[in-house]
Amino acid sequence: MLQTYNFDLILPDLKATNTKQVFKDLAKAISKKANLGEQQLLIKLVSQEKQENISIGQGIAMPHLKISNIDQPMVIFARLKNFVPFETVDNEPIDLICCILSSKEDNVVNLQASSTMARMLSQKEFSERIRSANNTDDIYKIMRQFAPMRKAA
């Protein structure tokens, strides 16, 4: 059976200009939506980026945070207003971020979420269309065409 994921948050025009601000803005937005601690999220984002390369190439980053108090996976997508330098696999700056939050305990779901999102994000047509989308609704429509997702209530 194909797993579906909550598509909980789209940030269509994140104005951050450096990695620190990107992570702060993401942590703040996610904490409001997921009712999780902003500081805890910020620490996890920074820590993951320091420990492993979160880039998947083509200007896209995909941090995957394992959270102890989350019931089902969440997908948060951010399009940056400008490219931001990150440590990347192809030495290209980042302008698209897909952050996955999932339970620490469910390794199968963690692997499925990462795999599904990486396949979607690595499609050139997908990234081109996302970059040219006009608003949140357009981004959501594009995502629905490329991945098995459902919009959160």
Do the domain assignments include residue 153?
no
Do the domain assignments include residue 19?
yes
Number of domains, the chain? 1
Task: Report the CATH number that the domain containing residue 21 is assigned in CATH.
Answer: 3.40.930.10
Do the domain assignments include residue 120?
yes
Do the domain assignments include residue 152?
no
Other beta carbons within 10 Å of 47: 12
Confidence of residue 6 (pLDDT cuts 50, 70, 90): low
Digit-coded pLDDT (tens) for 7-34 = 678 999 999 999 999 999 999 998 888 7
Give the distance from CA 139 to its chain's centroid: 13
Do the domain assignments include residue 13?
yes
Do the domain assignments include residue 80?
yes
Determine the structural domain holding residue 126 and report its residue range. 5-147
Give the gyration radius of the chain's Cα atoms: 14
Angle at the Cα of 72 from the Cα atoms of 119 and 75, rounded to 5 degrees: 40
Whole-number pLDDT of residue 1: 31
Do the domain assignments include residue 35?
yes
Do the domain assignments include residue 48?
yes
Whole-number pLDDT of residue 12: 92
Cβ proximity of 29 and 135 under 8 Å: no
Q: Quote the CA–CA distance of 68 and 11 in Å, as a whole number.
A: 24
